[in-house]
């Protein structure tokens, strides 16, 4: 929708990568106060208390190293094939236990004025990680508009199914379309983001254009891309990787260094751009914000 209405694009969304990096540098050095006046006010005010100050992963790496099997199973495939995907027009079907179901145009769903920046760590289940400056809207804000009823205990999401433009869907690698889900309290958590951009630009196709989920304390596969359906459900919805390998990929999929993937350890991760690995943190470093969502749950069982 940002492309459709260019006049609505905020200054923060067209800031070049270099300025992003500069801004971060002087904020980190703590000497940037005077210089900050040179940066558009909207950008300075966009710094969220949820954002990390860690070094950003390069845009080049964020856009050439993707798990988006709809465009092929190698990391480079989405960057090569996703350009063919047409994201205009884009509408999202809202259904299930809510008072305002329907078919919503993306532009009606997300107002440019409420878009904010969140710099999150992204930890893939494959033991690599990135730091990505997303632009988006906290998902709770959007879901509230549909007035979910008391029966809505989970939210289920689906990715676009369009084999003509998504060559990976022409082979039965995964049961298409890709599905993911969250418990209602996870979906409403202020960290949970519906992203429409990164590095100040509309989402590149290989990163899940035009609209995707970002749940920073869960493994990356939970953060479903190119969403076309949101459904409020009473019971836990089936999710793609869980269907594919129930003992490998759980419904919760919270980042947890204590629970290994059967085929590799989750104790450490390689931050993209680094050679050697670093320790992985419980809930990907967001334990303070989200650990309370899981009190009383055995996270070894509910991995």
Strand partners, 138: 193
Task: Please tell me whether residue 34 binds other proteins under the rule CB under 8 A.
Answer: no
> Furthest-apart CA pair in the chain: how many Å?
56
Task: Please tell me whether residue 68 binds other proteins under the rule CB under 8 A.
Answer: no
Helix (H, G, I), strand (E, B) or coil at 194: strand
State the DSSP code for 234: S
Contact (CB, 8 A) for 289 and 217? yes
* Closer of 99 and 172 to other proteins (Cβ): 172
> Which residue from 27, 47, 272, 291 is in contact with other proteins, where contact means CB under 8 A?
272
Task: Please tell me whether residue 247 binds other proteins under the rule CB under 8 A.
Answer: no
Task: Please tell me whether residue 270 binds other proteins under the rule CB under 8 A.
Answer: yes
Contact (CB, 8 A) for 267 and 277? no
Strand partners, 189: none
Compute the least distance from the CB of residue 266 to other proteins, in Å.
12
Tell me the window of 61-69, 191-199, 202-210, 287-295 that interacts with other proteins (CB under 8 A): 61-69
Task: Please tell me whether residue 259 binds other proteins under the rule CB under 8 A.
Answer: no
Task: Please tell me whether residue 263 binds other proteins under the rule CB under 8 A.
Answer: yes
* CA 22 to each of CA 17, 26, 40, 273: distance values in angstroms, whole numbers, following the listed order: 9, 6, 13, 19
Count of residues binding other proteins (CB under 8 A)? 29
* Closer of 127 and 188 to other proteins (Cβ): 127
Contact (CB, 8 A) for 265 and 127? yes
Tell me the window of 71-79, 85-93, 151-159, 294-302 that interacts with other proteins (CB under 8 A): 71-79
**DSSP letter for each residue of 131-154:** EEEEEEEEHHHHHHHT-B-TT--E
Residue 79: φ, ψ to 5°: -60, -30
Task: Please tell me whether residue 300 binds other proteins under the rule CB under 8 A.
Answer: no
Task: Please tell me whether residue 90 binds other proteins under the rule CB under 8 A.
Answer: no
Task: Please tell me whether residue 28 binds other proteins under the rule CB under 8 A.
Answer: no
- String of contacts with other proteins for each residue 190-229, x by CB under 8 A: ----------------------------------------
Compute the least distance from the CB of residue 104 to other proteins, in Å.
32
Task: Please tell me whether residue 277 binds other proteins under the rule CB under 8 A.
Answer: yes
Other beta carbons within 10 angstroms of residue 183's beta carbon come to: 16
Preceding peptide of 103 cis, ω within 30°: no
* Among 209, 233, 187, 221, residue whose Cα is nearest residue 78: 209
Question: How far, in Å, CA of 109 to CA of 91, rounded?
Answer: 9
- String of contacts with other proteins for each residue 119-158, x by CB under 8 A: ---------x------------------------------
* Closer of 17 and 185 to other proteins (Cβ): 17
* Closer of 10 and 225 to other proteins (Cβ): 225
Q: Which token pair is 256?
A: 């947890």
Neighbouring C-alpha atoms within 13 Å toward the C-beta of 291: 9
Residues from 151 through 190 that contact other proteins (CB under 8 A): 171, 173-174
Which residues contribute to the site for other proteins (CB under 8 A)? 57-58, 60-62, 64-65, 69, 73, 75-76, 128, 171, 173-174, 244, 260, 262-265, 267-268, 270, 272-273, 275-277
């Amino acid at each position: 929708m940002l492309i459709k209405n260019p006049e609505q694009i905020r200054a923060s969304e067209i800031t070049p990568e270099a300025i992003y990096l500069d801004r971060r540098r002087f904020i980190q050095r703590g000497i940037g106060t005077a210089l900050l006046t040179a940066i558009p006010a909207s950008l300075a005010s966009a710094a969220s208390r949820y954002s990390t100050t860690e070094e950003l992963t390069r845009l080049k790496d964020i856009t050439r190293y993707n798990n988006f099997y709809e465009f092929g199973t190698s990391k480079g495939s989405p960057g090569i094939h996703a350009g063919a995907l047409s994201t205009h027009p884009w509408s999202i079907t809202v259904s299930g236990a809510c008072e305002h179901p329907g078919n919503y145009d993306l532009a009606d769903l997300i107002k440019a004025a409420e878009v904010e920046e969140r710099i999150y760590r992204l930890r893939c289940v494959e033991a690599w990680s990135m730091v990505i400056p997303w632009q988006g809207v906290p998902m709770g804000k959007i879901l509230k508009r549909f007035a979910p009823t008391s029966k809505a205990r989970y939210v289920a999401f689906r990715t676009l199914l369009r084999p003509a433009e998504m060559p990976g869907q022409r082979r039965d690698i995964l049961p298409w379309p890709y599905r993911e889900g969250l418990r209602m309290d996870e979906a409403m958590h202020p960290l949970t983001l519906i992203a429409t951009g990164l590095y100040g630009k509309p989402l590149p196709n290989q990163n899940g254009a035009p609209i995707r989920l970002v749940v920073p304390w869960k493994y990356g596969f939970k953060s479903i891309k190119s969403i076309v359906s949101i459904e409020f459900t009473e019971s836990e919805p089936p999710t793609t990787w869980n269907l594919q390998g129930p003992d490998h990929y759980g419904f919760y999929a919270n980042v947890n260094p204590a629970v290994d993937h059967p085929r590799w350890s989750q104790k450490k991760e390689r931050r993209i751009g680094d050679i050697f690995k670093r320790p992985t943190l419980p809930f990907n470093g967001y334990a303070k914000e989200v650990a309370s969502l899981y009190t009383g749950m055995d996270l070894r069982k509910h991995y």
